[in-house]
Amino acid sequence: MRSAALVLLLLFAPVMLAQSPTPYRILHTYPLGGDGSWDYLVPDPPNHRLFIGRQNRVMVVDENTGALLGEVAGIKGAHGVAVAANAGHGFATAGNDAAIVMFDLKSFATLGRIPAAEDADAIIYDAPSGRVFSFNGDAHSSTVVDAARGTLVTNIPLGGKPEYGVSAGDGHVYVNLTDTHEIVEIDARAATVTRRWPTDACRNPVAMAIDDAHGRLFSGCRSGVLAVSDLKAGKIVATAPIGAGVDGAGYDAASGDIFTSNADGTLTVIHQDTPDRYHVVQTLTTPVGSRNLGVDATRHRLFVAAAQFGAAPAGGGRAPMVPGSFVLLEIGR
C-alpha cells in the first residue's frame, strides 16, 4: 500500500506543482516625477487608464506604458476620483475647498464645481442610481451628486468619520467609519443610511473592496487586520492578518485574491478559500510608504504609487518626499 501511494504521489506531483500559483512580483516601475504628495489610485479598466490624486491636480496615466496622458488641474487638496463612464464625467474631491470638481473624461477639462463638505476625501460612482458619493471625513457625511447633471442632491449624515467605500451594484453603497469602527450601508436612491454594523477586531477600518458574486465586503484596518463582512447578514465572518498602515485594498474575482497595500513596505495577498475562509499566501516587499493601491481586475494587474523620502523633521511630522522621485509600480504574476 505504501509503495502504491508513493507511485500516485510521484505521478500527481508535477500536476500539483503546475497548479501552484505563481507569486506576484513588480513587473514594471514607471517614473512619473512631479511635485506633491498623492492619495487614491483609481483604475479606468475599459480605457486602460489610471487616475492619481496629486495634491493640486489629478494625473491620468496609461496603464500599459506608464505614460502621462494628461492632468485635471486646479484642484486644492486632490484625493479621490470617481469615473461615471455613462455620463462621460469624472469627479475629483478637492478636500481643501470642501468641493467636488467635475471634469470631462476625454479632454480632462474642468466642467464645474459642486459644494461638498469639510475634508472631502474618497469618492465613488454608483451606476444603478447614476450618482456619485463623496465621503467627507471631518464632516462625518457623504455628499451625493447627480453624475449626469453635475448637481448636488443632498448630504447624508453618517455618524462617524468615513474613509473609503464601494458600490455593490445593487443600489447599495458601503463605507468604513474609521473612528467608530463600523461599516455603514447606504440606500443609493433614497440617499439614507439603512444599516450599520461593527468591525469587531478590525479597528480603524480605512480601505475597502468588494466581492459582488459572494456578497462579501473586505475592510482593511489600521490594526493590522483584514475584516470580511457578509453583506446579507451584516456582520464580520472572517479576518486575516495584513501589514501595518494599510490604505488601499482590492479584489480579483478570477484569482480569488484580495490585496492590501501597506505603509510599512508590504503588499499582503490573501486568498479566498471559501466565502468565509481566507489565508495569507504572500507578502510582497514594496517601498516604504507605498500604501495606495489600484486593481485592474480585467488585466489582473495591481498599481502602487511610491517615492523616496528624506529625513523626518526634528520636531516630528512626515518626512519630505525627494523631488522628482514619484513612481508607479505595476504588479502581477
Run means of pLDDT, 10 residues per run, the chain, 333 residues: 47 45 95 94 97 97 97 96 97 97 98 97 98 98 98 98 97 98 98 97 96 97 98 97 97 98 97 98 96 96 94 82 94 97
Lookup result for grid cell 499566501? 281
| 187 in any annotated domain | no
Residue 89 forms part of a structural domain = no
Cα(first)–Cα(last) distance of the chain, in Å? 39
Structural domain harbouring 264: 23-38+199-308+320-333
CB 126 within 8 A of CB 107: no
Quick one: residue 191, left, alpha or beta (phi over 0 = left, psi -120 to 50 = alpha)?
A: left
Identify which of 21, 18, 26, 66 has the alpha carbon closest to the alpha carbon of residue 332.
26
Q: What is the pTM of this model?
A: 0.92
Residue 318: its pLDDT value, please? 79
Residues facing residue 173 across a β-bridge: 167, 186
Contact 284, 276 (CB under 8 A): no
Q: What is the pLDDT of residue 20?
A: 57
pLDDT score, position 130: 98
Residue 16: predicted pLDDT: 40
Query: Would you say residue 146 lies in a domain?
Result: no
Is 86 within a domain?
no
Closest by CA position to 150, among listed 82, 91, 93, 75: 91
220 within a domain of the structure (yes/no): yes
- How distant, in Å, are the alpha carbons of 47, 160, 219 from that of 87? 15, 31, 29
| Domain annotation covers residue 259 | yes
Q: What is the CATH number of the domain that holds 27?
A: 2.130.10.10
Query: Residue 317: what pLDDT?
Result: 79
Whether 221 is in a domain gets the answer: yes
Closest CA to 124 of 147, 157, 156: 147
**Burial degree of 1 (CB within 10 A; 0-12, 13-18, 19+):** exposed
Number of domains forming the structure of the chain: 1
Contact 184, 192 (CB under 8 A): no
Read off φ and ψ for residue 204, nearest 5 degrees: 55, 60
> Hey, is 283 helix, strand or coil?
strand
Distance CA 290, CA 42 (A): 15
Amino acid at 147: A
Residue 142 three-state SS? strand
Q: Is residue 304 part of a domain?
A: yes
Cα distances from 120 to residues 56, 84, 146, in angstroms, run 14, 18, 17
Report H helices in the chain: 2-19
